[in-house]
Amino acid sequence: MFNFLTLLLQSIFKIVFSNRKDLLFTLMTLKKENQVYKRQINSKKVHNSMKRSDRLFLALISRLSRRAVNHMTLVKPSTLLDWQRRFIKNYWTYKHGKPGRKPVPKGIKELILQMKQDNSLWGCHRIADELKKLGIELNPTTINRIIQEYRKKGMIQPTGSWRKFLKSHWDSLYAMYFMTIDTLFGKRFYLLIILELRSRRIIRFDLTENPCREFVKQRIILFSEDIPGKKILIHDNAAQFTSIDYSWFDIKGINISPYAPNMNAFIERLNGSIRRESLDHFLLVSEKQIRKILKSYVDYYNNQRPHQGVGKIPTGNQLSGFGKIRKESVLGGLHYNYYRSSA
């Protein structure tokens, strides 16, 4: 609805006020700020005088007219970005009025620790089933939290089996993941990523509003065509992933254990990099804008950005101590790539 409203307003102002659009938006901005200042004087409060509607209004104006932003005195561009993140967080986070659960008794915690130490291959669900035999009802999520607490204290040692598996199959390992991207107006998109672990290269990335099984299957087909041969694909337990027969594409699918994102740590880290190094610095309003940002960032990530896990040298780059040092901007100057020119 908000996306439609933005496009409608842009079209109307472009037709009716083609040459005076920026002037009109500037006047609207100044009028709104004047209202806020008057409210501050009347209430004798300097802080917290802006309403939620004021923030949404100024954010919308900043999208419709960049020149109007230059005349804003109440907020900075960084503040607009903070509003976007706060709005999205409030939109998707709901408070529950239910009272908290009773703490797990110390004796049961120690029993969970003993079960995990004695049976390193057991997961949270397996331990929950074993506890149920003893008349103890505990949610697997609660058990996982208890195990993680003991693990941080060094009381549960990793078996190392997953690390050995990764090392022995390193040349054919890929990881797949869905991450969510929210716009300023509450619209949610899903980004499918396929990452080659050995090189840290993003092999495929696709954006959709409907992360269904067929969408994933079509991308798996394209992935298998781009990179022939046997491959191992690590993914979580989402139904879109687990319902596909990967053997048809000469791929072995590996489900990570429930509540164990560290088993897909490389792509989890990529998720954070995409947000911190690109998306978090823009007011996201449309699919077209998000695709443009992602395309620029993926090109930078694959070809220019250093990666700690591969010697901090991007794939295909040759070290050279000769030539004049030059730079080129990425994402409008959010990052810069430095290189030596051959001439």
- The answer to whether residue 321 is domain-embedded is no
CA-based torsion, 311, 313, 314, 317: positive or negative:
negative
For 251-259, what is the mean pLDDT?
Answer: 83
Q: Which residue in 60, 48, 49 sits closest to 87, CA to CA?
A: 60
Mean pLDDT of 313-325: 61
Domain assignment present for 258: yes
137, 208: one domain: no
Q: Are residues 214 and 243 in the same domain?
A: yes
* CATH number for the domain harbouring residue 267: 3.30.420.10
Q: Would you call 251 exposed, middle or buried from its count of C-beta atoms within 10 A (0-12, 13-18, 19+)? A: buried
Average pLDDT over residues 265-271: 88
**Residue 318 included in any domain:** no
- Tell me which amino acid residue 138 is: L
> Which residue in 275, 47, 86 sits closest to 184, CA to CA?
86
Mean pLDDT is lowest, of 81-85, 237-241, 284-288, 291-295, for: 81-85
**213 and 295 housed in the same domain:** yes
User: Tens of pLDDT along 282-317?
Assistant: 999 999 999 999 999 999 998 887 765 555 556 555
**40 and 114 share one domain:** no
pLDDT at 305: 79
User: Are 172 and 278 part of one and the same domain?
Assistant: yes
| pLDDT at residue 154, as a whole number | 82
* Same domain, yes or no: 139 and 179: no
Shared domain for 138 and 13, answered yes or no, is no
Q: Report whether pLDDT(234) > 50.
A: yes
8 A C-beta contact, residue 174 and residue 234: yes
Q: Residue 240 — very low, low, confident or very high, per pLDDT cuts 50/70/90?
A: very high
My answer on whether 221 and 127 are in the same domain is no
pLDDT of residue 231: 92
Work out the pLDDT band at 188, boundaries 50, 70, 90. very high
Q: Averaged over 258-275, what is the pLDDT?
A: 83
Q: Are residues 148 and 174 in the same domain?
A: no
Say if 330 falls within a structural domain. no
* Helices and strands: H and E segment counts in the chain: 13, 7
User: What's the structural domain count of the chain?
Assistant: 3
Q: Residue 248: which of 267, 220, 271, 273 has the closest Cα?
A: 220
Mean pLDDT of the chain: 81
- State the average pLDDT over residues 241-259: 87
- 316 belongs to a structural domain: no
User: Are 178 and 293 in a shared domain?
Assistant: yes
Same domain, 129 and 260: no
Is pLDDT of 235 > 70?
A: yes
Q: What is the pLDDT of residue 319?
A: 54
Residue 278 belongs to some domain of the structure:
yes
Flag whether 343 is in a domain.
Answer: no
Q: 107 pLDDT band (50/70/90 cuts)?
A: very high
pTM for the whole thing? 0.58
- Whether 54 is in a domain gets the answer yes
State which residues form the domain around 44: 2-92
Q: Are residues 126 and 172 in the same domain?
A: no
pLDDT at position 1 over 50 = no
Look up residue 50 and give its DSSP letter. Answer: -
- Across the range 85-105, mean pLDDT stands at 71
pLDDT confidence tier of residue 26, bands split at 50, 70 and 90: confident
Q: Which residue has the higher pLDDT, 97 or 186?
A: 186
Out of 157, 175, 192, pick the residue that ends a domain.
157
Q: Looking at residue 249, what is its pLDDT? A: 92
Confidence of residue 76 (pLDDT cuts 50, 70, 90): confident
